[in-house]
Amino acid sequence: MRGFGLAVRAEWTKFRTVRGWVVATAVAAVAMVGLGLTPSMQGSCGKRGPGSECVLPIGPGGEEVTDRFTFLHRPLTGDGTVTARVASMTGRLATGREALAEWAKAGLIVKDGTRPGSSYAAVMLTGSHGVRMQWDYTHDRAGTPDSGPRWLRLTRSGDTLTGSESVDGTQWTDVGTARLDGLPDTVEIGLFATSPQYAEMTTSRIGTSAAQTEPSEVTATFDGVTGGEWTETVVGGAPGGVERDGGRLILTGTGDVAPAIAGVAGLGTSVTQTLVGTFVALIVMVVVGTMMATGEYRRGLMRTTLAATPRRGRVLAAKAVVVAAVTFVTGVVSAAVVVTLGQRVLRDAGVYVHAASTATELRLIAGTGALLAAAAVLALGLGGLLRRGTTAVTVGVVTIVLPYLLVLTGLPVGAGRWVLRLTPAAAFALQQSAKQYDQVAGLYIPQEGYFPLPPWAGFGVLAAYAAAALAGAVWLLRRRDA
């Protein structure tokens, strides 16, 4: 153990005395911080420039939410029920094309007032997912998958809300039950309609993928409505309205009642945007890792190193410890600066940045350091295998950086997901901060920062490549001349 400690100390001495390696490490840090603190996006929410930051409502669980819909309602004090039949749903996009968004919603809702972000429970018919029971934005339960006409009923009993469905209005089936703790005695109950951003992928003739999105609108016709006098409210300022046609009520709405997401089909961006400089830092540290392995061969110093430390595997292990430690610290410090300050820079530029939990921000910071460290160790292993600096750097960049760049520049979604499962680029999953919800329409694709593997599983792929390269380099070093 003492011998390994001396080997690590010797490699650290080499590192800090080679000016090029120290300068390169500083360049990596400056690149991460500089690019992270330079706003690369225009303002979101249809606004531009400083001071135009959007403000999203906060749901009962503390999450950012979208709460915009057409609401036809009346007060309900104590227990009660509302029943209606959703006779039809049609959709239209902003371009005038007829299309019904998959998560367009029309149904019955009980809500703690009309303030955006307030507690609610709803039973609804959706564009493509049949009948659903949803409450407090993050909870969703499936009913019948059929999206045809349906009778719906929502019943309040204290803090408990029960959603039911029926084909004929006689035989009823419960969809789900929600308990809304702290629900006031008087709430608003009624009909609602809303339709989220419509999103779809298109594929070009050469096989590249692109995302298209546009606002959508739903028109829902209700009949068989029970209740008294109704009040029309457009919650959250979304366009919409109500028409009466004899005994039918026709609600038109746009927006959503759901957790807010980042990306093309969502609003604004995620904290990950502040880490755009990781690419430059990664390339620089790949060069440093490679040079730590190949530099001594080029200068003829490897024989001296092996004479001082005859156990050859120990030499490469010590190099790996030093380059991993230096790179990890550089990555963590730089990521901490940009994650903390970068959000402020983007918001000052009018870009809405979704808030991330403290645990997520810590994972982004530590994960960025781990990503850079493992990449540097992989580069070290490649340098030991190939012994030629230019070749090893090229292979390192092609192996780690190029796959992700191909994904970002339009590789078909299916192929891109496999690339991010099987190549070292899988470790970029460590930088995912945006959440994915099954009940929210969105383009959950790599181009929008959504990865096919969990963060630390993605890192495991890179770590496995690094371990294999380093083991191969040790094996060859033991079997051939220095």
Domain ranges of the chain: 2-43+268-479, 65-259
- Determine the Cα angle at 294 with ends 317 and 319, to 5°: 20
The answer to whether 184 and 65 have CB atoms below 8 angstroms apart is no
Q: What is the pLDDT of residue 355?
A: 76
The dihedral formed by the CA atoms of 336, 341, 344 and 348, expressed in degrees to the nearest 10: -140
Q: What is the pLDDT of residue 39?
A: 67
| Residue whose token pair is 């299916």 | 414
Amino acid letter at 341? Answer: L
DSSP 409: T
Amino acid letter at 260? Answer: A
| Separation CA 278–CA 297 (nearest Å) | 29
Q: What is the pLDDT of residue 263?
A: 61
| Separation CA 216–CA 304 (nearest Å) | 70
Fold type of domain 65-259: Jelly Rolls (2.60.120)
- The DSSP bridge partners found for residue 69 are 235
Pairing mode, if any, of strands 139-142 and 150-157?
Answer: unpaired
Distances from the Cα of 40 to the Cα of 233, 276, 345, 347, 351, angstroms: 38, 9, 10, 12, 10
Q: What is the pLDDT of residue 4?
A: 74
Q: Which residues contact 271 (CB under 8 A, 6 or more apart)?
A: 339, 342, 343, 353, 354, 356, 360, 361, 364, 433
**pTM of this structure:** 0.80
Which of 331, 316, 335 minimizes the C-alpha distance to 379? 316
| Residue whose token pair is 């096919």 | 452
Which of 342, 369, 212, 219 minimizes the C-alpha distance to 281? 369
Length of the chain counted residue by residue = 482
Count the neighbouring beta carbons within 10 Å of the beta carbon of residue 477: 20
Pairing mode, if any, of strands 131-135 and 139-142?
Answer: antiparallel
What beta strand segments (E) does 180-228 contain?
186-194, 198-203, 209-214, 216-223
| Mean pLDDT, the chain cut into blocks of 10 residues (482 residues total) | 73 85 93 83 44 71 90 94 94 88 95 95 95 96 90 96 94 95 94 87 54 84 82 87 88 92 65 87 92 70 54 76 95 94 79 81 95 95 84 89 84 87 94 86 77 94 95 79 54
Distances from the Cα of 319 to the Cα of 50, 312, 381, 422, angstroms: 47, 11, 10, 27
Q: What is the pLDDT of residue 50?
A: 43
Q: What is the pLDDT of residue 143?
A: 94
| Residue whose token pair is 């690590």 | 8
